[in-house]
A and B are shown apart, each in its own frame.
Chain A
């Protein structure tokens, strides 16, 4: 069993590696933010109700409300699954709020499994 001190910190940058994701926006500082946990959801009300600050959101929903939800709930980043590409206004809003956006070809189920595995193995 590993102790808390031995555990490697999972960052948004390491999620990019785990999911072979493309970074749509997010500077080095944003990518080095610690991932405190993750949630996979298309229902933003669930994210607002159940998330904790510093969590990562995995979602198949692509609209401006996803980024606003991430800002309001103080998440550490958003991953769009199944290769979905958000519009330029969504990326611009995230960039302005320094909210990193990633995009992966994995499905929501696969992405959640990979991130869960990476988070619990560390």
Chain B
């Protein structure tokens, strides 16, 4: 169990596929080093990675904030980009607006947001078309 609060912020750049996933693998290392339970580490890393890939694939830029408290791991992703026109549709498995370039990376098959939701205890998605998207992911550390 983590006894102190921890915070870190990552900048994510759109279309930067070479570095896509760096923030999430760093988040995974930090959580592991803080002694967060392994199952929580894996869920947080998977949710973060899908969210980071969404920023790289769809947005111009974004910011990922990691907050760790004794109660929960929280990742908040805020991006500047096209936003999501229909959030309900975007939440359906298989629905995607990805380009062939994105699919070549092994993503963009309409699994990202459902995968994130599946791994999160709290999932809050707010989007404004032509402005950007804000996603809050929280995973409880309680067993």
Contact = CB atoms under 8 A, between A and B. Distances in A.
Interface centre among A42, A49, A61 (most CB of B within 10 A): A49
B106 A63 contact: yes
Contact of B107 (A53, A65, A72, A74): A65
B25 A71 contact: yes
A71 B32 CA distance: 13
B50 A64 contact: no
Interface residues of A, number: 22
A46 B107 CA distance: 9
Chain B interface helix/strand/loop/mixed: helix
Contact of B111 (A46, A69, A97): A46
Contact of A65 (B20, B38, B112, B118): B20
Contact of B21 (A45, A53, A65): A65
B28 interface: yes
A69 B25 CA distance: 9
B42 A73 contact: yes
A5 B3 CA distance: 40
Interface residues of B, number: 25
B143 interface: no
Nearest to A46: B111
B53 to A, nearest CB: 8
Interface in B85-143: 104-107, 109, 111-112, 114-115, 118
15 contacts: A43-B109, A45-B107, A45-B109, A45-B111, A48-B46, A48-B50, A48-B111, A48-B115, A49-B114, A63-B104, A65-B17, A68-B20, A68-B24, A69-B21, A73-B42
- For the complex of A and B, the 4 pairs showing the least CB-CB separation, nearest first, are A44-B106, A68-B21, A45-B111, A72-B45
Interface of A: 42-49, 53, 61, 63-66, 68-69, 71-74, 89, 97
